[in-house]
């Protein structure tokens, strides 16, 4: 039986007195708020390791653009008599993956950083902002959890 949560995002949910870490909507770890030393909400990147994703996206996009440039030279070469369709399609997948990776790497939203004595969790509040529950969430956290800090613009 699925417990009822007060607030639920993709990676976490909040119930009375607990923070639940989720995978595919199922709770895999429960953190009591008694063990949490601080909770900070601020504007930040949607991904924790956004710099790596940006690097991979830039590399894929650079390869695809280089390959398109190379294909243009092949097309302009008077000695080329046959060009296969497969050769023209090769840069499409790296370009699509690279552009999408760059997009998700530079996407900003509000994030919640939860710190305990031994561990830190970086959680995106993107779904709460999209479902217009962010203000309710911050009001609940301010009244029920003394270690809560809201550093976001709103």
Describe the crossing of helices 50-76 and 92-106 by its angle, rounded to 10 degrees: 150
- CATH top class, domain 7-46+107-150: mainly beta
Q: What dihedral angle (degrees, nearest 10) is formed by the CA atoms of 110, 112, 113, 117?
A: 170
Q: What dihedral angle (degrees, nearest 10) is formed by the CA atoms of 46, 50, 53, 57?
A: 80
Cβ–Cβ < 8 Å for 88, 44: no
The full set of domain ranges for the chain reads: 7-46+107-150, 50-105
Mean pLDDT, rounded, of the chain? 89
- Answer whether residue 154 shows pLDDT above 70: no
Each residue of 49-85: pLDDT tens digit? 999 999 999 999 999 999 999 999 988 888 888 888 8
- Answer whether residue 91 shows pLDDT above 90: yes
- Answer whether residue 10 shows pLDDT above 70: yes
- How many Cβ atoms are within 10 Å of 61's Cβ, its own excluded? 20
pTM (two decimals): 0.78
- How many Cβ atoms are within 10 Å of 44's Cβ, its own excluded? 20
- Answer whether residue 117 shows pLDDT above 90: no
Start-end of H helices in 7-133: 50-76, 85-89, 92-106, 126-130
Question: At 3, is the pLDDT very low, low, confident or very high (cuts 50, 70, 90)?
Answer: low
């Amino acid at each position: 039986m699925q417990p009822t949560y007060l607030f639920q995002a993709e990676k976490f949910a909040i119930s009375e007195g607990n923070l639940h870490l989720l995978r595919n909507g199922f709770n895999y770890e429960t953190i009591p708020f008694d063990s949490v030393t601080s909770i900070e909400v601020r504007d930040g990147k949607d991904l924790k390791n956004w710099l790596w994703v940006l690097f991979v996206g830039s590399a894929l996009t650079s390869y695809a653009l280089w390959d398109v440039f190379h294909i243009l030279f092949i097309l302009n070469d008077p000695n080329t008599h046959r060009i296969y369709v497969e050769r023209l399609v090769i840069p499409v997948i790296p370009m699509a993956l690279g552009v999408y990776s760059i997009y998700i790497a530079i996407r900003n939203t509000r994030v919640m950083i939860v710190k305990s004595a031994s561990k830190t969790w970086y959680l995106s509040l993107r779904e709460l902002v999209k479902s217009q529950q962010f203000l309710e969430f911050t009001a609940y956290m301010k009244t029920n959890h003394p270690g809560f800090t809201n550093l976001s613009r709103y």
